[in-house]
Structure 1
Amino acid sequence: MHLVTTVKKILQGKEKGKILKYEDYFAWFLVFLFAGIYCFMSINKHRLFETYGWDLGVFDHGIWQWSLFKIPYSSFHDLPWLADHFHIILITIVPLYWIWPSVKLLVSVQAVVTALGAAPLYYLSKKITKHRLFSLVVIIGYLLFYSLQWHT
C-alpha cells in the first residue's frame, strides 16, 4: 500500500523532490510512441512475409497449445516444447492469446517489450549523469538504433 500512496503523491506533486518533470513525461511519450511504431513495423513485416517462419511457428504453436490448456508438444521437433525452447515467461502471454490468437500478438509483444527497454535506460542514465536532457538523448539513440528497428 505504501508504494501506491507514494506513486499518487509523486504524480500529484506532493512528494518533495520527486515530482515528475516534463522530461520524464516526454521520455514515456517516446517509449509509447516507438512501441506503437515498432508494433506497426512488426505486423507489417509479418504481413510481407519477412518474419522467420520456423522459430515464430515453434513459439506460436507452443503458446497456442498452452492457451488450450494442453501440455505444449513440438510437432516440429517431436519432443515436449519446454525441452526444446524453455521460455517459461511466455506463459504470461497466454491470457492475451485467448483474446487475440495470432502470431501478430507475438510480434507485437516483442515490439512493446523492446521499446519498454528504453524506460530503465532513461532512469539509469538520469541517475548516473544527473542530466535529464542527456538521458533523453540516450533513449532516443536507443529507440532509433537501426539494429533495434530491424529486430522488431
Structure 2
Amino acid sequence: MRKIIYIVLTVVFFAILFSGCAQNNKISDKIIELIDKQSVKDESVCNISIKEVADFEWDKMAIFKVGSSNKEISELLGVQYNDSVDLTSGIIFVSKNKIVYKEEILYNPEIPSKLSVSLDEQQPELNCIVYTPDNAILKGTRKKVDGEYYYNISNIK
C-alpha cells in the first residue's frame, strides 16, 4: 500500500512540476515578462521584439483580435487555420508553411485576461496582421487596475 501511495505522490509531483514548466513557455507569459522588465511605472508603453520571446524557428507570425475569421487568418498566413475564433484573439506562428505555435486568448468581459490583443483603432476593419521575424515589433502596454496589472499588445501604428 505504501508503495502505491509513494508512486502516486511521485507521479503527481512530476505532473505539477512539468505543468509549471510548460506554463512558463507560453509566449504570452514571456511578453508580459518583457513588458514588466521595460516598464518603470504602473502604466507603461514599450516596444516588444517578438524575436526576443519566440525561441523557435518561424517565418511568419499573425496577431488577430476578436472578430477575425478563419478565412482571413488563413489567407494572410498562407496556411489553413481551422480553430475556432469566436470571441478569441491570439498569436499564431508559422514555419515552412506549418503552424508551429498558437496561443488563443478567450474574451470574457467578466474575467479579463492578463494579456489582450488590439489593433489600430483608426482602421476598424483590420482584424489580423502578419509579421516576419525582421518586422515583428509590437507595442506593449501595462496598466494597473484595482491592484492588478493587465497587459496589451498591438501593432505599432
Fold match (TM-score > 0.5): no
Rg larger in structure: 1
